Amino acid sequence: MGVFDNGTVARYWVGGGWYNLTLMGFFVANTLLVGRWFRNIEEFHVTTQLWRLFIIGMGGITIIMVTTFANRSTASLTIYPYLSPVFFCLSLYALVIFFLSSVFIYRRFILYPRTRNKIITWYIFLGFLVFALLQPFVNLGIFILVSFGLFLILSLILSANVRWIAYLNFNQKLRALGLSSLIMLVIITYVLAARTLPERLGIISGETLRIEFVYYIMLFAFCYTGSSILVLFFNLPTTSIFEKQSVEIASFSKINQAIQSNLDFGDIMNTLLDASLMAANAKAGWIELLTDTNGKAEINLKKKIESEDILSIKQQYDITEKVIRDQQFYLVRNLRKHRAFLGNNSKYKSLLSVPIVSTNQAYGAVFVVNELHNSFEDVNIQSVIAFAEQAGMALENARLMKESLETESYRTQMKIASEFQKKLLPRQLPFTDQIEFVSLSETAYEIGGDYFDVVHPAENIYRVAIGDVSGKGTTAAFYMAEVKGIFHALTQLDLDVKQFVQTANDALSACMQRKFFMSLTYLEINVAKKTVEMIRAGHCPTYYYEAATDQLKECREGTIGLAIIRNKSFARQIQETQRIQYQAGDFMVLYTDGITEARNEAGEEFGYERLQSCILRLKQESSTNIAAGIVHSVKAFAQSDPQDDYTVLIIKFG
């Protein structure tokens, strides 16, 4: 029953009367008010918050001073005796508001950044404050002191949470230190003013009033402000190092951005030099880059140093070449005493050079110099190396991007050339009851040197040319375009087959470089007479299938290729043309060497024999199927895309 009997209750519950209860209500109401006020302030700006606290404090002090002076003025109090307690209440209010503000502002500081443990500690702190509010009503005897001691420990623990200081720069720290010191003075002023507080409260109320709550928040504000002042003060000297580290990180991130965004070459170099100067604490520095023309290093960028000074330091010694060759930094601790730099009379004594290289390419080197000897430490050197590596990557990236754009542009150009070249070949070949022409062709590159054309200059007459300009790719393609022009002009002249070949040889000899030539097979077909007159000038043998005898004939007779003999003696080489009298159902297979010279993985060529058997196998097929069948067989044999341009032209007679 113990605790519930009247005696026990009387022992613990002392009661503070209505005044104490009113005072508790006053404390609770203001705590809620101030707490709400500061909860709405979301921004976390240390100096602004400290400044705010200081202003509140100063405002309060002003109120206390004014009321104290007014109180002492006996004249006014004689007239208005009731003013004294009013003045006193105002002072108390100012004091409470200031310390509550400090609690809530420091709460924001302590919880920066928020952690679970800190929040728990904060709630315990609040628990103590509630306990302090209840103290006037409970008789705890010695426990009041114990509780105060525990609260002191808790305040000290909370005061250790000053991580916000680490994020301030030197100026901000200095300002925060000044403001915290002023706040400390304000706190001390309040503490002095509060000494007589209970006594005066007693006089006013006529009762013993208890203000443990005020003591508690004063203690906390004192501890946290003191702790902040000490930490700020001892942090000041190391701030510059942290600031430097953070600038280094920013430089790293800038160079990294350069890697991703392909900054301008000059920007990368500028960032690298700035970062290196800062990381090495160097007085001056420059960057040398290898030139494209002679591979020699030249000064690309210099800061706080003149070219003459650089030359004077280096003394003709090509340090860039050395660091690139060694792929390692080069450090001279004292230029005056180093053998390689004898005669150097510059004011600089320490030199550090770090190569700028990527995995594939060397770009140059970054140099930093200092007036003091032995002034570059390992940590400086490592930072400069890291910057140079990052810059190397950025440059590599920029180079790859440029190459990729150039390749893209080249591809586009080649695609245009390819489209254009396709237009040089006949789009639609004659396909009648009397005669059918079917062709299939492909180039090894976007553009090629194969050429064929069928013209129909007169009724019953068809002139066919198939040829191959030596070589592949662009040069061959250019000549192919010229060939097209020449042949079209010649077909208008109504030349016979021999004359055509001879004139074509003259024309091509005049326009082709000496290392180029052209193979050609030229035919004139008369569908009325059912004759073919043909000449083979160095071109692949033509196959002629005679349906009546079921024989495949290889037309090997011929002359030398065009533009090989570049004088009149070519005429002597042209023998009689080959004449064929054809029947319906016969067909001819003309092609370029991309067919017979297609090679498989073993290096074996498709050759003439495979082509012959392929044609014989397809002899009953339509002209379209014969062409497709030959190409299919060649591809199946080679098991790859064409290594050379190829063309197949089937002429089927009706």
Partner 1 sequence: MEIKENFHSTYITLMPIGELDANSSVILDERIAQLLETGTVNIHIDGSGISYINSPGLGVVISYVDELAAQGGKFVFSDLSDNVADVFSILGLDRLDHLIIVNDPTEVEAHFSTS
Cβ nearer to partner 1, comparing 339 with 515: 515
Beta strand residue intervals within 304-385, DSSP E: 330-332, 350-357, 362-370
Residues forming a β-bridge with 536: 521
- Pick the closest to residue 211 from 349, 295, 99 (CA basis): 99
Cβ nearer to partner 1, comparing 308 with 576: 576
For the CB of residue 470, give the shortest distance to partner 1 in the complex, in Å: 3
For the CB of residue 619, give the shortest distance to partner 1 in the complex, in Å: 24
Helix (H) or strand (E) holding 176, with range, is: helix 170-194
Q: In what order do the strands lie in the sheet with 578-581?
A: 450-458, 461-469, 518-526, 531-537, 578-581
CA distance readout (Å), 558 to 545, 565, 578? 19, 15, 8
Q: Tell me phi and psi for residue 24, to 5 degrees.
A: -65, -45
Tally Cβ neighbours within 10 Å of residue 527.
20
CA distance 638 to 644: 11
Chain center to CA of 337:
44
Rounded to the nearest 5 degrees, what angle is found at the Cα of 567, between the Cα atoms of 565 and 568?
A: 115
**Cis amide prior to 113 (ω within 30 degrees):** yes
For the CB of residue 429, give the shortest distance to partner 1 in the complex, in Å: 26
- Pick the closest to residue 571 from 495, 482, 499 (CA basis): 499
Cβ nearer to partner 1, comparing 427 with 515: 515
- Pick the closest to residue 465 from 434, 432, 421, 495 (CA basis): 495
Helix (H) or strand (E) holding 214, with range, is: helix 212-235
For the CB of residue 411, give the shortest distance to partner 1 in the complex, in Å: 21
Cβ nearer to partner 1, comparing 35 with 471: 471
For the CB of residue 418, give the shortest distance to partner 1 in the complex, in Å: 20
Cβ nearer to partner 1, comparing 550 with 609: 609
CA distance 607 to 598: 8
Q: Which two tokens stand for residue 268?
A: 């990368």
Q: Which two tokens stand for residue 443?
A: 């180039």
Cβ nearer to partner 1, comparing 116 with 515: 515
Cβ nearer to partner 1, comparing 248 with 605: 605
Q: Tell me phi and psi for residue 318, to 5 degrees.
A: -85, 85
- Pick the closest to residue 440 from 303, 278, 590 (CA basis): 590
Cβ nearer to partner 1, comparing 128 with 445: 445
For the CB of residue 448, give the shortest distance to partner 1 in the complex, in Å: 12
For the CB of residue 424, give the shortest distance to partner 1 in the complex, in Å: 20
Cβ nearer to partner 1, comparing 313 with 598: 598
For the CB of residue 472, give the shortest distance to partner 1 in the complex, in Å: 7
Cβ nearer to partner 1, comparing 7 with 603: 603
Q: Which two tokens stand for residue 457?
A: 């200059």
Cβ nearer to partner 1, comparing 474 with 624: 474
Burial track 629-642 (b if 16+ CB lie within 10 A, e otherwise): bbbebbbebbeeeb
CA distance 373 to 287: 21
For the CB of residue 654, give the shortest distance to partner 1 in the complex, in Å: 30
Contact 20, 205 (CB under 8 A): no
- Pick the closest to residue 170 from 117, 231, 243 (CA basis): 243
Burial of 378 (0-12, 13-18, 19+ CB in 10 A): exposed
For the CB of residue 537, give the shortest distance to partner 1 in the complex, in Å: 7
Residues in the chain: 654
For the CB of residue 416, give the shortest distance to partner 1 in the complex, in Å: 24
Cβ nearer to partner 1, comparing 310 with 595: 595
Terminal Cα-to-Cα distance of the chain (whole angstroms): 130
For the CB of residue 617, give the shortest distance to partner 1 in the complex, in Å: 23
Q: Which two tokens stand for residue 198?
A: 């209970």
Cβ nearer to partner 1, comparing 335 with 520: 520
CA distance readout (Å), 210 to 84, 190, 243? 20, 17, 49
* Interface residues toward partner 1, by CB under 8 A: 468, 470-472, 514-517, 519, 537-541, 556, 558-561, 564-566, 573, 593, 597, 603, 605, 644
Check residue 576 and report its DSSP letter: P
Cα-trace Rg, the chain: 50
For the CB of residue 577, give the shortest distance to partner 1 in the complex, in Å: 15
513 SS3 class:
coil
For the CB of residue 560, give the shortest distance to partner 1 in the complex, in Å: 3
Cβ nearer to partner 1, comparing 300 with 470: 470
For the CB of residue 329, give the shortest distance to partner 1 in the complex, in Å: 41
Dihedral of CA atoms 300, 306, 311, 314 in degrees, nearest 10, equals -80
Cβ nearer to partner 1, comparing 58 with 560: 560
